[in-house]
Structure 1
Amino acid sequence: MFIHIGDDHVIQSKDVIGIIDYSLVTSSSINEEMLDELKQKQQVIVSDEELTKAVVITADNVYYSPLSVLTLKKRASMISTISRLEDYSENSDEE
């Protein structure tokens, strides 16, 4: 399944390692150092840093999202619910 994280970015839900509030990331010098290193390696996808509310960490990249952590969490839980429904419908077809 996929999650739309804003700014025309869609990622696979299985690749998500973590979603962190942007204010927490910027308040830590260690996190800022990590992001600076990843930016140099071109592994950070930033659309508009001023609008960033959350940082989405995946297996390959880090995305700055204009959506809040709560919104992203709701989208991820909807995907989980849909997956369970699909599993249920597959089981009921077999019966």
Structure 2
Amino acid sequence: MFLHIGGEYTVLEKSIIGIFDFDASTHTDSSTIELLQKADKEQLLEYVSPDIPRSFVLTEDRIYVSPVSAATLKLRLSDRYGIHNMIEENEEV
């Protein structure tokens, strides 16, 4: 199955390592900023849209910056699989 992450982008769900809130992750953790900068240098960072970034999706081979909130992306997954409890207990999927 695929997860629509905004624009014309979908990612294979089983390749997703985590879904993160962009502001919360970059405001408090300099290692996250370093990770995103390194991925950008290595051309592994892909912006889904020119809109304001709200989340980023870490996959096995890329990082996608999305205008769709992390909460919405997680909800799309939970609606499909009925995993509301798992998402509430863990910050990332």
Same fold (TM over 0.5): yes
Aligned-partner Cα distance in 2 for 1:54–1:63: 8
Aligned-partner Cα distance in 2 for 1:74–1:29: 27
Aligned to 2:12: 12
TM norm structure 2: 0.79
Is 1:60 the counterpart of 2:61? The answer is yes
Q: Aligned ranges for residues 45-56 of structure 1 at < 5 Å? A: 45-46=46-47, 47-48=49-50, 51-56=52-57
CA displacement at 1:79 relative to structure 2: 2.7
Aligned-partner Cα distance in 2 for 1:38–1:59: 12
TM norm structure 1: 0.77
- Partner-residue secondary structure (3-state), 2:24: helix
Aligned to 1:90: none
- The percentage of aligned residue pairs carrying the same residue is 35
Aligned-partner Cα distance in 2 for 1:21–1:70: 8
For 2:62, give the aligned amino acid. Answer: N
Aligned-partner Cα distance in 2 for 1:59–1:5: 16
Q: Counting helix residues as a fraction of each chain, which structure ranks higher?
A: 1
Aligned to 2:23: 23
CA displacement at 1:78 relative to structure 2: 2.6
Give the total of aligned pairs: 80
CA displacement at 1:51 relative to structure 2: 1.2
- Greater mean alpha carbon deviation, residues 72-81 or residues 3-12: 72-81
Q: How large is the Cα RMSD of the aligned pairs?
A: 1.2
- Partner-residue secondary structure (3-state), 1:57: strand
Q: Rg bigger for which structure?
A: 1
CA displacement at 1:26 relative to structure 2: 1.6
